[in-house]
Structure 1
């Protein structure tokens, strides 16, 4: 597909995709994040966003975010007694996640991100800095806890960091469906929250040549989307996701 035709297609798709009506047509963790309108609750929503969308939304709607204002003991007692678990996270993991997020509330999360970003002008460094700070807040360790928060990288990222990039899209973009709760980070440097849907769609549409699902693929797609809108390339994310989710890709190529 020629670039002009592809841009026209994506522009048409995002007009429909980037609306509250479309957002609430299908289960999506952003629905809960919008209702709560809080950066750290949105982070919880984004980091639990793996697996079946219906189950994600069901679990998020079952959480009492008021616990983030309670003591560590109350958080543990409540979530463990309710047997609150989700896929890779058992009740102990979920309670320690809440305790960690509660402690993160005491810090300036946006400034942590800005400091990381300013190292090299890269959003991935902002994510890396935040993850490093998170692990300083709680000595608890488990596979479920570390899967939830992810791991830092040293030389270069391999993971696409989909859930963090999705959260940053919600926080930094200040139009249509996103929340725009952060003002100090540039929309132009957001990275596509690459998942299996958007990767498949991007390969088919010629936005990506890299078949590996990794950070380099997310970076390549983002660079190509910048040719369509250098100031807000990730506005196309939800449109790409919906194309893959709706299985309409075959009719477009």
Structure 2
């Protein structure tokens, strides 16, 4: 391992130890998941939170909280006992950026169909995961297909990796549900952490460029995989472990991406 790699490894380890803590979660839609002890409820809350995770983080948390408050203490019971018509009625007037009650109702209807067919989102996802797949990307495509199968109208709330998207929100959802540590609550089984892909957006892309994990200028699926492979050099069994600590820079007001880039330059 070259000296620069040793420096990057030490920097990542230091950031993980310092910032991978519950005290650094807020503001983040992840905080909405902590209220659910049952995995059957948490996985549904997590998918809703991830699908709405675009725009200003304060508004994301507000929108996710509003949806979960309507659903009550058990999102699982709410969704399983509902119908597409009831979902749209319950969330009449809902709006989050480009999403309205039609998009949200379609998402909940798709989740309901998956629950009826597979028993859980976890079981549905695992069915699409093959041992030979190096990452979760093919399984993500199958998962999106099953959610969309009987619920047209979900639209932009579910990205499709086959179109080249980095699928930041879906990879964020998987990080929350597959990993378990001080911040990620976990709960899912049957998915190796080594297959996860870093949730890539413009901020994480800038961090990847600064750390030398990619030279690609597009924040797309290819870049997400390339950066994940870079992180795997330092944590092969859990390459996404650094995501939370790194993304505090740019989310929390007192932590700027430029500060992290300067830290990388000085490492």
Residue matched to 1:150: 159
What's the CA shift for 1:229?
Answer: 0.9
Query: Are residues 1:187 and 2:160 paired?
Result: no
Deviation at 1:183?
1.6
Residue 78 of structure 1: aligned partner? 90
- Under a length normalisation based on structure 2, what TM-score does the superposition of the two structures give? 0.84
The C-alpha deviation readout for 1:2-55, integer Å capped at 9, x for no partner, is: 11111111111111221111113xx10100122235112211101110111000
State the partner residue of 1:94.
104
User: Aligned match of 1:229 in 207, 210, 235?
Assistant: 235
Structure 2 residue aligned with 1:35: 35
Q: TM-score, normalised by structure 1?
A: 0.89
1:114, 1:90 → 2: CA distance? 30
Aligned CA distance change for structure 1 residues 132 and 105 (closer, same or farther; 3 Å): same
Q: Could you tell me which runs of 5 or more consecutive residues in structure 2 were left unpaired when the two chains were aligned.
A: 73-77
Structure 2 counterparts to residues 192-231 of structure 1, below 5 A:
192-231=198-237
Cα gap change, 1:54/1:123 in structure 2, threshold over 3 Å: closer, same or farther? same
1:152 to partner: Cα distance: 5.8
Gaps of 5+ in 1: none
In the alignment, is the contact (CA less than 8 A) between 1:173 and 1:180 conserved in 2? yes
Give, in angstroms, the shift of residue 211 of structure 1.
1.1
Aligned counterparts, 1:12-161, within 5 A: 12-24=14-26, 27-37=27-37, 38-63=42-67, 64-66=70-72, 67-72=78-83, 73-80=85-92, 83-106=93-116, 107=118, 108-118=120-130, 120-121=132-133, 122-138=135-151, 140-141=152-153, 145-151=154-160, 153=162, 158-161=164-167
Task: Give 1:90 deviation, angstroms.
Answer: 1.8
- Number of residue-to-residue matches in the alignment: 242
Contact 1:201 1:244 in 2 (8 A): no
The answer to whether the Cα contact below 8 Å between 2:110 and 2:146 also exists between their aligned partners in 1 is no
CA contact (8 A) 2:161 2:221 kept: no
